[in-house]
Amino acid sequence: MKSKFVYVNLVTVIFILTILFAGCVNSNEPASAGGTSKIYVSGAFALYPLMIEWSEQYKILHPEIGFEISAGGAGKGMTDALSGMVDLGMVSREIYPEEEAKGAVYVAVAKDAVVGTMNANNPYLSEIQEKGLTADTLKGIYIDQTITNWDQLAGSSNGDPINSYTRSDACGAAAMWAKFFGFNQEDLHGIGVYADPGLAEAVKSDTFGIGYNNINYAYDAGTGEPIEGLAIIPLDLNGNGEIDPEEDFYSTRAEIMAAIGDGRYPSPPARELNLVTRGDFKGPTRDFVLWILGDGQNYVEATGYVSLSEDRIQSQIDKMN
């Protein structure tokens, strides 16, 4: 009886040690490889709402498939996919050659854009909305730090500072926003705020703040207008110092969607959203991605994204075969 007690203890200790050291072993296989049908997804905030919609629709057709989806920025999606922690990484920027060299395989599944944002109660809002900001001006704010004052934009003389905000986490939105004026995320000057909703919140609560968001976090999904407290900064694309009628498409989400679709809103900051895996799309994950490129496309516009052209979709399907 008593020696049995000792054995039970011994077994417990061995069990605990096994657990402790199991953590040290680098498990490189995606969790679904073991025959369970759960698909793990992580990454870009930009793609997160659409991925939720897709997974719910897919579960209706295939109740045996489970999903675990988390948002954490494009960089996290890429790192998780390459290290085998997830089956699919959501990446809202282009894939770097270094990442392809490490085995990143990807397909584009939809399009959206990053837009500049400012506080809706900013006293210079109407001037900014009339004139817009050029890529050069944004570079002056975010890179060179030569434009630090709203007076420089609105021609006033009140001395109100521009408080620039940027994302702290590695993400597609920052990468595309910086690329719009020719730089990288690490070059952007400004207070670093974590996550898409965090950045929107920061600009919303700072009258003189300026930031940027994925459109699905800048516009209200219900009303289709910019979320309360936030205004969208129009881009002066031809650089003539004012927002012409053909540059004016920011008042509702539907309008800017149309502008992204026909290319009036430039890319960057518009961009394709990618799904990444390591090596090859396999098993249930492959079926799911093929469904996304097929029937799944029906949910893209309804969820607030821009569909890829049919040619582009076909080329992505070819890429998988």
Please report how close the Cβ of residue 90 comes to another protein at its closest, in angstroms: 11
Q: Dihedrals φ, ψ of 118, to 5°?
A: -145, 170
Tokens encoding 165: 């905000």
Please report how close the Cβ of residue 86 comes to another protein at its closest, in angstroms: 13
Tokens encoding 169: 């986490």
Please report how close the Cβ of residue 96 comes to another protein at its closest, in angstroms: 5
Which of 79/297 has CB closer to another protein? 79
Which of 149/251 has CB closer to another protein? 149
Please report how close the Cβ of residue 151 comes to another protein at its closest, in angstroms: 15
Produce one character per residue of 122-145: b if its CB has 16 or more CB atoms within 10 Å, e if not: bebeeebbebbbbbebbbbbbeee
Residue 67 half-sphere exposure toward CB, CA atoms < 13 A: 20
Please report how close the Cβ of residue 177 comes to another protein at its closest, in angstroms: 16
- DSSP for 115-159, written as a single string: EEEEETT-TTHHHHHHH-B-HHHHHIIIII----BTHHHHS--S-
Tokens encoding 286: 């492959």
Residues that bind another protein (CB under 8 A): 2-3, 6, 9-10, 13, 16-17, 20, 24, 72-79, 82-83, 96, 98-99, 102, 104, 161, 163, 165, 168-171, 184, 186-187, 189-194, 198, 201-202, 205-206, 209
Which of 151/206 has CB closer to another protein? 206
Q: Any bridge partners for residue 89, and if so which?
A: 42, 276
Which of 6/302 has CB closer to another protein? 6
Which of 202/308 has CB closer to another protein? 202
Tokens encoding 193: 């705020």
Which of 162/231 has CB closer to another protein? 162
| CA pair distance 3, 27, nearest whole angstrom | 37
Please report how close the Cβ of residue 199 comes to another protein at its closest, in angstroms: 11
| CA pair distance 182, 316, nearest whole angstrom | 27
Please report how close the Cβ of residue 254 comes to another protein at its closest, in angstroms: 31
Which of 4/29 has CB closer to another protein? 4
181 SS3 class: coil
The angle at the Cα of 225, spanning 89 to 134, to the nearest 5 degrees, equals 75
